[in-house]
Structure 1
Amino acid sequence: MNRNQSVQYSKIGILSISHMLNDFYSNYLPQMLPFLVVLHPEFTATRAAILISAFTITSSFFQPLFGFFLDRAGKRWFVYVGTLWMAVMLSLTGLIQNYWLLVTFSALAGLGTAAFHPQASTMVNVLSGDHKAVLLSGFVAFGNFGFALGPLILIPLFQAYGLEATVITVIPGLLVAIILAFFAPKNNILSGSTPPLSVVIRSLQSASRELVAIIGVIAIRSLAYTGLLTMLPLYFKSENVSNIVAGHLLTIMLAAGAIGGIIGGFISDYYGRKRLIVGSLVLSTPMFFGFFYTQGLLSTIFLALAGAALLSSFSVTVIAAQEAIPNNKALAAGLTMGFAGGIGGLAVVLIGRIADTWGLSAAIFVLFLLPIVAGLIALGMKSRPAARFQRSLAVKTN
């Protein structure tokens, strides 16, 4: 392995920890929902879905734009300015009384994570040498762990001090932004010639069939994921489950999902991206129903298994897109971590309407069916040899 291929673990570690905080903020608004329902009785499931969608849409649909720009000229300041921007916007949400102003601040906050993700994920990809799948899975897993910390930290905070306590949550964002400003990679790691727009378009056209399948998988999975994070807190509230217990259940699902993401990265290296994506998504639907129709410890185990299965393909779909358009990695990250997720986030409003019309149980039933739909769409992905096989073939060839 030459110097250019060496793995820079310290910088990847800093980016991964930053990703954990970034995604902690990304799961910020759903934890406010049970408290907003108490403060504002007119706060319907549809209004909750609109609020979450406002953040999801800006944080997602702007990522490909940032990704295209970053493929042309890497901007390291995106990672720390984006983190600080999102922290400041979200820390003010608890002070806002007007619903539409709250939606506006949520949408503005989403721009911060839209700036962070394409640059940070591309930095990790380039800094990972020959261990891209595993280290990118680790980077994504840190984000998922941050997501899992949201209910564990924020619900007790809001329970004890009210939504005004959001102002103090700017502190970790400020600290991490300072760390990134000093320790994020200082050189332009997006080395090589910059392809013109026409070349990028041809690259997208040549891989269009596979990209459509990947984006479809991520959009449906994102709808299930975002929808559950929006509807489950409201469902638990309607069933008189305490906010603390509900927060613990969501943390279990998300933490299991983070672990599942790491395991999924290893499995996809050994058995192929497509097999892992199809198998894990199809498996998650019966696991979710197992959670819903059982009780006690068994129900919690099913929820953990469902979360692990649903999110085990999270980083794998990003890598699959980067393999489909290898010369536009930041754009691929933006399309998968951003645009496709935004489509799913936008559709959460429909789930909110289902909940208001037919009840929360009906909406959750629909969400439980979505992963198996995503798995069927994944059958349209291109089958590539497993990364382990490719490395073995390269060694034999050399």
Structure 2
Amino acid sequence: MSRFGAATAPISKKQGSGEGAASFKILLIIGLCHLLNDTIQAVVPAMFPVLEKSMGLTYTQLGLIAFSLNMVSSIMQPVVGMYTDKKPKPFALPIGLTFSLMGILGLAFAPKFEIIVISVLMIGLGSAVFHPEGSRVAYMAAGPRRGLAQSIYQVGGNSGQALAPLITAVVLVPFGQFGAVWFTLVAAVAVGLLIYIANWYSMNLKIGKTNLTKKKKSSSSNGIRSRGSVAFALTLILILIFARSWYISGMTNFYAFYAINEYSFSIKTSQLFLFAFLVAGAAGTFFGGPLSDKYGKKTIILLSMLAAAPITILIPYVPPVAAFILLTISGFILMSSFSVTVVYAQELVPGKIGTMAGLTVGLAFGMGALGSIGIGYLADIIGLTKTIILTGFLPMLGILTIFLPSDKKLTLQK
């Protein structure tokens, strides 16, 4: 039977523990669901230029909307992950997307700022439920290729986020706020696919072939033994996520305004620049995982941050064509470490798949949330141009990667 065919059958205990063949059908479906989920989330920042004009919102208010969306996800994802590490909940996946469906419907009809905030809170809640369990499904179906599996899963999400500029240009500019109603169809498709995933997930739990959440790891093994050293390494990972997320947040939420002001672009043209940045980031997410399987996770994390830094610093100083090229390159390089940091954390703290996925991915959203409100406030105070210049220095924090334990030490602790 082919690997694609094998994905429809219950996976073996060996597969469930990440040691057998990867189940690519499940990986592709959960990656597609991630794309649909994050496309729904992408509607929110995609609406910023529309809401700024129609409701007269300030940069700070736009930052608060992004904060509301991302902070709920940040707070809830680790909580959901810790709970489902003990008690997996397969059908939480379609239930979570149902919350997102209701949120996007509310967003389309919201008459004022407060209703918009409530609607995005529901979208954030749906995302918080989806991400830890979605990452667990990817881990279950990964076999030995965890970097590749997380890349397939995460590239779906980043591709969904990359659609935000197209959503603005194709849907929201001509149809306005009401155009968001079309994305209830996206949510409905995601719910249907996740019912299929939940049945697969539930079947494997019931027959006892996978039991990732109760897998015990010896605390006396070689490598990273002390809680202090694990906590130190995890803190460094979170700082790196902090730096990357603030930069991505600044570009995603405010670079369109920068391009409009500095280059006299229309909304549509500015969104094309942002689209190139995000699509390149999605491509980088995909390639980063397989490269980490081959060359090591620490190496890819270090290179992705430090190689991106000179480019992000240069972007505000170049003309439009050069900016387009540099945005594309920086997006690819910087996001190549996205899925790698998730796998690194999962291997750093074995047996806590959902918790680590919720912490790393959830924290990325949370740091993006803080970044959104902080960068928005800074832009109101010192101006958007200076703010974009300052955010370009954030990837330089990648130098801290040199203090992370090597991949060999992570392997020794298993």
Scaled by the length of structure 2, the TM-score of the pair is: 0.86
Contact 2:45 2:252 in 1 (8 A): yes
Q: Which TM-score applies when normalising by structure 1?
A: 0.90
In structure 2, the residue matched to 1:382 is 405
How far apart are 1:203 and its partner, in Å?
8.7
Residue of structure 1 in register with 2:354 after alignment: 330
Partner residue in 2 for 1:268? 292
- Structure 1 position 214, deviation (Å): 0.7
Instruction: State whether residues 34 and 156 of structure 2, in contact with CA within 8 Å, keep that contact through their aligned partners in structure 1.
Output: yes
| Number of equivalenced pairs | 384
**Aligned equivalents of 2:320, 2:369: Cα separation in 1:** 31
How far apart are the structure 2 equivalents of 1:193 and 1:293? 49
User: Aligned-pair distance for 1:142?
Assistant: 1.7
Equivalent of residue 352 in structure 1, options 351, 356, 376: 376
Quick one: which amino acid aligns to residue 214 of structure 2? T
Tell me how far 1:369 sits from its aligned partner.
0.9
Task: State the Cα distance separating 1:334 from its structure 2 match.
Answer: 0.7
**Which of 72, 78, 90 matches 1:76?**
90
**In structure 2, the residue corresponding to 1:187 is in which secondary structure?**
helix
d(CA) in 2 for partners of 1:147, 1:278: 24
Provide Cα deviations, 1:155-204, integer angstroms capped at 9, x if missing partner.
321111111121121011112201221344232556156389xx9xx996
Alignment check: 8 A CA contact 2:168 2:268 kept: no
Shift of 1:104: 2.2
SS at match of 1:130: coil
CA RMSD of aligned residues (A): 2.5
**Are the counterparts in 2 of residues 258 and 311 from structure 1 also a CA contact under 8 Å?**
yes
CA distance in 2, matches of 1:226, 1:143: 15
Residues 283-314 of structure 1, C-alpha deviations (whole Å, 9 max, x = no match):
21221233322224332111100101111100
The answer to whether structure 1 residue 229 and structure 2 residue 252 are counterparts is yes
Alignment of 1:1-398 (within 5 A): 3=12, 4=14, 5-41=20-56, 43-184=57-198, 185=200, 186-189=202-205, 191=211, 194=214, 207-239=230-262, 240-373=264-397, 375-385=398-408
- Change over 3 Å in CA distance of 1:364–1:296 after alignment to 2: closer
Q: Secondary structure at the match of 2:407?
A: coil
Residues 7/267 of structure 1: CA separation in 2 closer, same or farther (3 Å cut): closer
Q: Structure 1 CA distance, aligned partners of 2:351 and 2:399?
A: 28
The verdict on how the C-alpha distance between 1:116 and 1:89 changes in structure 2, with shifts beyond 3 A counting, is same
User: Secondary structure of the equivalent of 2:143?
Assistant: coil
- CA, structure 1 residues 195+178, in 2 after alignment: closer, same or farther (shift >3 Å)? same
**Aligned partners of 2:37 and 2:190 also within 8 Å:** no
Give the residue type in structure 1 aligned to 2:395: P
Contact 1:271–1:386 (Cα < 8 Å) also in 2 = no
Q: Structure 1 residue 364: deviation in Å?
A: 0.9
2: CA distance, partners of 1:267 / 1:182: 31
Contact 1:137 / 1:315 at 8 angstroms: preserved in 2? yes
Change (3 A) 1:79 1:215: same
SS state at 1:27 partner = helix
Q: Unpaired runs of 5+ in structure 1?
A: none
Residue 94 of structure 2 contacts residue 191 of structure 2 at CA under 8 Å; is this kept in 1?
A: yes
Q: 286-295 or 220-229: which moved more? A: 286-295
CA distance in 2, matches of 1:247, 1:237: 10
Q: CA deviation at 1:19?
A: 0.6
**How far apart are 1:252 and its partner, in Å?**
0.7
For residues 281 and 266 of structure 1, what CA distance do their matches in structure 2 show? Answer: 17
Structure 2 counterpart of 1:180, one-letter code: L
Q: Is the 8 A contact 1:80 1:181 kept in 2?
A: yes
Deviation at 1:385, TM superposition (A): 3.0
Measured against aligned partners, the alpha-carbon deviations of 1:220-265 in whole angstroms (never above 9, x if no partner) come to 2111111221111222333431121122111111110111112222
Pick which of 63-72 and 349-358 moved more. 349-358
Q: Percent identity?
A: 28
* CA distance in 1 between partners of 2:291 and 2:357 (Å): 21
